[in-house]
Structure 1
Amino acid sequence: MKNTNNTQPTSSFSSPSGRSGGALTKAVRLYGKKDLRLEEFELPQVKDDEILAKVVSDSICMSSYKAATQGTDHKRVPNDAAENPIIIGHEFAGEIVEVGAQWQHKFKSGQKFSIQPAIYYEDGPVGILSAPGYSYQNIGGDATHVIIPKDVLIQDCLLAYDGPGFYPASLSEPLSCVIGAMHANYHTTPGSYIHQMEIKQGGKMAILAGVGPMGLAAINYVITREDRKPSLMVVTDIAQDRLDRAADIFPTEWAKENGIELIYLNTGDIENPVEKLKEISGGGYDDVFVFAPVAPVVEQADAILGHDGCLNFFAGPSNPEFSAKLNFYNVHYAYTHIVGTSGGNNDDMVEALDCMSKGLDPAGLITHVGGLNAVAETTLNLPNIPGGKKLIYTHKNLPLAAISDFEEMGKTNPLYAELAKLVAKTKGLWNVEAEEYLLANAPEI
């Protein structure tokens, strides 16, 4: 790994207007396999069909780990990354700084934003699979400032955010993945083979291996959703501490107030999990979501499907040969079926931002906070770092720190002492007040 910091301190940022070149930015760039470098460089002058933006926060995704370890073998990373490195990070939010003439009717300086990275732009650096955070030299989440290109803008993938704070907008992309999965499930009615898209209203749902970061997002979305809900939601895992944390963040009483019977179940302590799960549901489930690419979990999901049950394989395996057994007798006679989703679309992202503006707080996803200086090491070691999302504030120089360690760190560092007090107000979860304090008081990169 190369983790160089070739930056010189800058006291402030100014618009590049009137300059022969562009603005300075600091960013983590990918040159090749496991070759990430924190560097300072000059952005090009903003064109009429582009927007200059300040990034405030980015959450590190396992997809960035895959891109960083695969380098140019990754389908979204250009072959010439060694000569023209790309900025990593695609779950980011910030503020618009300068708007090119062609977009001044729609955007303005000072607006908060999020990005839908799955732009599928045919003329992008790697063709239709091009995406910010994987394919572009001047836009990615792990930077202080970026240029939002026309590729993003003409597809309406720059999304205004009017809610509190910045971290919710950073997490709108992972939440959109959950939303897309819910919308992708389908059912039929007796005598008809027309697919009715969506989870079953008032049905029975199971989320297996469901207390990781994305599982927590799914629980939150299902409970707070207004237009469609299951009557029963069973969430499983084999780690009691993770289940306990989920139950503390999303209590069963809160779910009941919103019309859902929520049950957390440790299947690691049960001799026959399938039998127990079917007993709880009274026979089987309408919608089953698999949040871990583990064959026995997939097979467990298939075994608990009820009539016309839909299995959504949400987890993305890294092994292209990954497989599991399915009961095809039930496929034929019980109309069970399987779907898979990979990411949300633009509509899902808009819905995620709308949910957040109405009060959905995705803070349960976040377990660690750090600065831009921590990105390279964190990204390359992501599978070995426990917990949920690692949230980066790109203008800050901070080690990656678990929120649960703030109190201990606060014994020698007053910044963390205050942050510990602030997160204690929300059961140890990150919150807007803590974010505002960090942005005002943490050291600059």
Structure 2
Amino acid sequence: MATGIWLVIYRLFVCLLWMMQVISLVVSVPLLWLMLSIGWIAQRRSRLRSATADADDHGSNDHSSSDHSSGEFDPEAMDEDDSPTERDPQTTFDAVPPPVAWFFVAALRWIHFPIVLVLRFVARHIAFRPQRRYLTALLASRLALCGSGSLDYEGRYRLSSKAMAIDTIADMGSFSGERPVFVYGHWLSHYCAKTFLSLASTRVMFAQRQRLQIGLSDSNMADHAEYVKFASVSLVLDMIEAGVVADLPVLKNGVASIHRIASDWNLVSSVPTSHGELSALEIQNKYFKAAKQFVAGTSNQWLGESETVLQRWESLITVLAAFRRDHTETSEAVGRVDWMTKQQLIDALGDKAEWTEKKKIDLRYHELSADGYFQQLVRAKPEAIFVKQQNVDRRRRSPPSGSPAARRGWIIREFAGGDEVLHTDWAYAMIGHGRKRKRVNFDL
């Protein structure tokens, strides 16, 4: 949550971006209307051809009917509200021929490019300054604990394929195909939406609290790794909010350090930090000790499950420290650390195994069906499961009451499959089309 002078600077830039957004939308309106009209014409021609074909088929099959024997139909009988403004805009946009759509999209991207430049500056230098500064080392080093493992096309084993694709610390994550650690693509959507609704949605950008989206995060199968991945970051964010950051290391040469950690499943490589050259486990230890001290000084009423977080976090560090001392110490990690569990399955094939056989394990390890390799493993090791399946099923049906997820789920259940057009986003839903369209916010 931003405070002080940086909050003022941030809001000034939001004002600047809002003015740029107004200009961009005004410039975009002729293009959008032209694109909408082309899509509407394409839709109408498609329906005319379809109706003509249906009339011809009906006429040929029913010669006794004078109304249809000629294969004619009345174009005026089509929907009265069949216009670019009354029909669903997204459906109309989708009807635009691909070459024409490519031209319009390219033009719109150039129109919004100044917004992207300013937003990129805000993302890299103003927004979430302490969070980016003190979280990057945690996110990079947690690959040793929570990486899912990956076998590349040259047969090299990595802690994380996603980490190897990271090419910047903070960016849009969608505009130019960049792969950042901290992703601001959801901000970009506020400023570069297709309609003037984006002007209304921009007001949320003035809020003191904003969503921080992390792109450096693997999809774990092991409950233990998944729990520590989220819980450790949540705890460190609390520390940053409280200003308890003196003992937290700051990563230097961010992208290069991330790649170096991700490439070293032996866990011996060191990367430069504000505390000197440290390995991934050493960085994790520093964060853990700082978090433990922070929790010890926190009032009981605010502890929550922080003690459980520390216990599970420490147990993973201990397991991996044992592996670093002796590479035969892997039994405790199986079912708890994904990359090591997967590596054990691959190594079990032997040295003569083909790359395709190893890659099959790499891929099928993540299969969610009962035949998935991890699913088969945990059936033999039920202690690795933290959450019972019935609890998972219950939360799928009923998210926490009062949460955006609960409102979103209710909207989808009530309106999906009905007559009303429904478009949902993380923050809101649009129900209906044309003048009858309504917006429902999930965060109210």
TM-score, with structure 1 as normaliser: 0.22
* Higher strand fraction (1 or 2): 1
Greater helix share, structure number: 2
Using the size of structure 2 for normalisation, the TM-score is 0.22
Which protein has the larger Cα radius of gyration, Structure 1 or Structure 2? 2
